[in-house]
Chain A
Amino acid sequence: DTGVSQNPRHKITKRGQNVTFRCDPISEHNRLYWYRQTLGQGPEFLTYFQNEAQLEKSRLLSDRFSAERPKGSFSTLEIQRTEQGDSAMYLCASSPYEGQGVITNEKLFFGSGTQLSVL
């Protein structure tokens, strides 16, 4: 079990540039989540995938953000025209649940995150 892997661990970019992060979930996990965490706060939900389908997006996910999971395995999160307010830790999580809907006891396995700094 290699765990959830995220790359890069750190990204420094200039305002207005595009950035892309990658997440490799635990092998064969069906669900994949993206969260954003700012300093001193808990993680905030951004979006989630069930296999390759993106099923839910938070209103925090503006049109500058796009996420994909093309083959139901790894996922990418792209931020276009970055702003200083995008500076945060971006966390990816996966879970093995295959069913539909909300499962209240669903345990998420998190990666170590990508720390984005927009200058």
Chain B
Amino acid sequence: AQKITQTQPGMFVQEKEAVTLDCTYDTSDPSYGLFWYKQPSSGEMIFLIYQGSYDQQNATEGRYSLNFQKARKSANLVISASQLGDSAMYFCAMRERNYGQNFVFGPGTRLSVLP
């Protein structure tokens, strides 16, 4: 079974608007971390934001925020005020305490920002 699901293969957003990228996860481990990475065409994976399973508040990093709904096992990324440079692949990932160093990634969502 897929541990990380990203149901949107591709998304379009108008410049300066907000966009939400969906991520759902599956784990029975009570301790885990959720991450979002951006991968532009250059190939480098760029860390965006982190949410711990025990964190009470949703994480925020500049224009990025994570809508964490633990009971629904979802960790959606919200990008506010989209910029043309936000066009890239976005990956949701999870690290579980009891499952070794396997940092599990989802299949990704390709975001295209339109001028």
Contacts and interface: CB of A to CB of B under 8 A. Distances in A.
B67 to A, nearest CB: 19
A42 B106 contact: yes
Nearest to B53: A104
Interface stretch (A14-22, A64-72, A73-81, A108-116): A108-116
Contact of B33 (A105, A110, A113): A105
Contacts of B103: 33, 35, 45, 108
Task: Give the interface size bracket for A toward B.
Answer: 20 to 34
Contact of A105 (B42, B45, B52, B93): B52
A103 B101 CA distance: 9
Contact of B100 (A40, A102, A111, A113): A102
A26 interface: no
Given A45-B102, A104-B97, A113 B43 contact: yes
B45 A104 contact: no
Interface string A26-59: 0000000101000011111100100000011010
